[in-house]
Amino acid sequence: MRVVCSIAGSDSSAGAGIQADLKSITANGAYAATVITAVTAQNTLGVQGAWPLPLESVAEQIASVFDDLDIAGVKTGMLGGSDMIELVARELEHRRPPFVVVDPVMISKTGFALLAEDAASTLRDRLLPLATLVTPNVHEAEALTELSIKTVDDAQQAGELLVEAGASAALVKGGHLEGAPATDVLVTRDSIEIFEGEWIDQRHTHGTGCTYASAIAARLALGEELTTAVARAKDYVTEAIRGGIEIGGGVGPTDHFWMTRDD
């Protein structure tokens, strides 16, 4: 059993964050270990509050997981601020996992800030050089590159800048692209690949970014090449979106275990 460690924040409604990572990694065939960086009060209506955990507790969690388990790779999510990013970067430099998937979580779907305004540059400078893959949506890619991204060509340019900043590869997700909302662009140091997909008119999409990045991480842990891992993870998250779960009064989560439903 290949173990992927998710370093991210907790979502009390279990649609995103650590809880989504646990489900997505499991559904894609790997075992999920976790390091919790923050606790949020969150439901389908939005994020009501967020509290970072003490740095010491995060460092101890990392030590506990890495000292005992054979970690095949790491996926990072909500880190909150520069101090937490610095800590995680130092630990990854020390632990040297086989791969790191960085999901640069900055803002919730309902607009709640999950990354301090002054921390984007720290994420770019400290985590991108450690990233096997960084998976920003359009808004996150704009914050990291200072580009205006509206088209597939813009997304490609942003991916190239993220690779220039140190990431081995960048997957710019096209959920907010004009005219191509289901198209993702994968840029590596020697190739560019376009992943076209089906746009699903679905309200319940909470946690899609966490789910997608975690699925990629699980498939990398299983030994798949990056392009294959992205393609299969995209197929997985597309069906998870199609099966979006209507719970609560707002934006429900994707269905991480859609493949178990009779329909």
State the Cα–Cα distance between residues 256 and 263, nearest whole angstrom.
14
Residues 7, 10: Cα–Cα separation, whole Å? 10
| DSSP symbols for the chain | --EEEEEEEEETTSSSHHHHHHHHHHHTT-EEEEEEEEEEEEETTEEEEEEEPPHHHHHHHHHHHHHHS-EEEEEE---BSHHHHHHHHHHHHHH--S-EEE----B-TTS-B-B-GGGHHHIIIIIGGG-SEE---HHHHHHHH-----SHHHHHHHHHHHHHTT-SEEEE--TT-SS-TT-EEEEESS-EEEE-------S--BTHHHHHHHHHHHHHHTT--HHHHHHHHHHHHHHHHHT----SSS-PBP-TTGGGS--
The number of residues making up the chain comes to 263
205 in catalytic set: yes
Of 173, 174, 234, 252, which one is the catalytic site residue? 173
228 is catalytic: no
Choice among 34, 40, 44, 205 that is catalytic: 205
Q: Is 209 a catalytic residue?
A: yes
Active-site residue, 173 included: yes
207 tagged catalytic: yes
Catalytic residue among 208, 211, 238, 254: 208
Q: Which of 77, 210, 244, 252 is catalytic?
A: 210
Residue of 209, 243, 244, 252 marked active site: 209
Catalytic residue among 77, 207, 243, 244: 207
Q: Is 208 a catalytic residue?
A: yes
Q: Catalytic residues, which ones?
A: 173, 205, 207-210
